[in-house]
Amino acid sequence: MNISNLIGATGMSVGALILVIIGVAILLLLISNVKMVHQGTTVVVERLGKYHKTLETGLHLLVPIFDRAVRTISIKEQVVDFMPQPVITKDNVTMQIDSVVFFQVVDPKLFSYGIENPMRAIENLTATTLRNIIGELELDQTLTSRETVNERMRITIDDATNPWGIKVNRVELKSIEPPVAIKESMEKQMRAERERREAILRAEGEKKSNILVAEGEKEAAILRAEATKISLLTEAEGQAQAIKKIIDAKPNAEYLTLQGYEALKVLADGQATKIIVPNDLANVAGIFTALSETLDKKHKKA
């Protein structure tokens, strides 16, 4: 079907058909210039080849032919994990360090027109900054000052990326790999340090154990001495009371003499090597006679 047949079938003039076609083309052009910007992104718009504005989240209508959306940029925080970089410490130790950069685009215009390849620029800037900082530190400082290195790198990279519309929030050293020989030496040093600490702890434990044993023996000796003291005092008090009772009873000479011979009997019980005999041994018979009479009297009374 040609245009003449179409015009005849619809009953439209040529001018009306042209207007319809133009209207449809304009409508399609307008629809094609409707721009939807999603959450977390922005769109850079150029007008006649020059930066015009940045579209935020929502629905926007561009001017046909004149406006053009040239770039969609994410404004969410992003993370870039760069390949391990060879660096040399102040004491000439070469190691591989893997770094991670967390950044966010804060100015889409600067990000679009400030530098040609922002990611490549951040990677090179991170590598050079890392080499400069590590070159000022020795191996031990590099391994123990990771937080300091992270903060210095963040400040340096953030200052350098400000003209590019980038905000560096955090820089982390993901891994530090020293040479194999250095790693083996460090492992030996750590093993020796652990053994030294173990020996110190063992010695301290033995010291405390010996102190506790000595204190226990000391307390036991004190308790034994106290017990001996109490026993001797009790025995002495008992003897004193016995002597006092004997004195209060006013014993006669025969009793005293008998007690003396009892003591002599104990001395002569095979334990002593020398026996002292009293001078009045001749009176023993009389004493025994008196004692016999006394015992007979008690027997008769009974």
Which residue, 42, 74, 106, sits at the end of a domain?
74
Structural domain of 118: 78-178
> Would you say residue 57 lies in a domain?
yes
Which residue, 74, 108, 129, sits at the end of a domain?
74
Share of the chain above pLDDT 70, in %: 76
Rounded CA-CA distance 90/139 in Å is 7
For 157-194, the pLDDT digits (tens) are 999 999 999 999 999 988 888 777 777 777 777 888 88
- Are residues 173 and 233 part of one domain? no
Q: Which residues pair with 54 in a beta bridge?
A: 44
Q: Which of 1-15, 113-127, 265-279 is most confident?
A: 113-127
More confident site: 130 or 252: 130
- Are residues 84 and 173 part of one domain? yes
- Are residues 146 and 107 part of one domain? yes
Per-residue H/E/C for the chain: CCHHHHHHHHCCCHHHHHHHHHHHHHHHHHHHCEEEECCCEEEEEEECCEEEEEECCEEEECCCCCEEEEEEEECCCEEEECCCEEEECCCCCEEEEEEEEEEEECCHHHHHHCCCCHHHHHHHHHHHHHHHHHCCCCHHHHHHCHHHHHHHHHHHHHHHHHHHCEEEEEEEEEEEECCHHHHHHHHHHHHHHHHHHHHHHHHHHHHHHHHHHHHHHHHHHHHHHHHHHHHHHHHHHHHHHHHHHHHHHCCCHHHHHHHHHHHHHHHCCCCCCCCCCCHHHHHHHHHHHHHHHHHHHHHHHC
- Are residues 142 and 68 part of one domain? no
Assess whether pLDDT exceeds 90 at residue 265: no
Assess whether pLDDT exceeds 90 at residue 6: no
Rounded CA-CA distance 139/25 in Å is 70
> Would you say residue 183 lies in a domain?
no
- Are residues 84 and 151 part of one domain? yes
pTM for the model: 0.55
- Are residues 204 and 219 part of one domain? yes
- Are residues 27 and 17 part of one domain? yes
- Are residues 219 and 139 part of one domain? no
Rounded CA-CA distance 73/106 in Å is 10
Residue-level pLDDT at 288: 47
For 188-241, the pLDDT digits (tens) are 778 888 888 888 888 888 888 888 888 888 888 888 888 888 888 888 888 777
Across all residues in the chain, what is the average pLDDT?
Answer: 79
- Are residues 265 and 242 part of one domain? no
> Would you say residue 268 lies in a domain?
yes
- Are residues 221 and 151 part of one domain? no
Residue-level pLDDT at 255: 61
- Are residues 259 and 242 part of one domain? no
Angle formed by the axes of helices 284-301 and 253-267, to 10°? Answer: 110
Which residue, 178, 198, 229, sits at the end of a domain?
178
- Are residues 199 and 133 part of one domain? no
For 185-203, the pLDDT digits (tens) are 777 778 888 888 888 888 8
> Would you say residue 185 lies in a domain?
no
Assess whether pLDDT exceeds 50 at residue 249: yes
Tell me how many domains the chain contains: 4
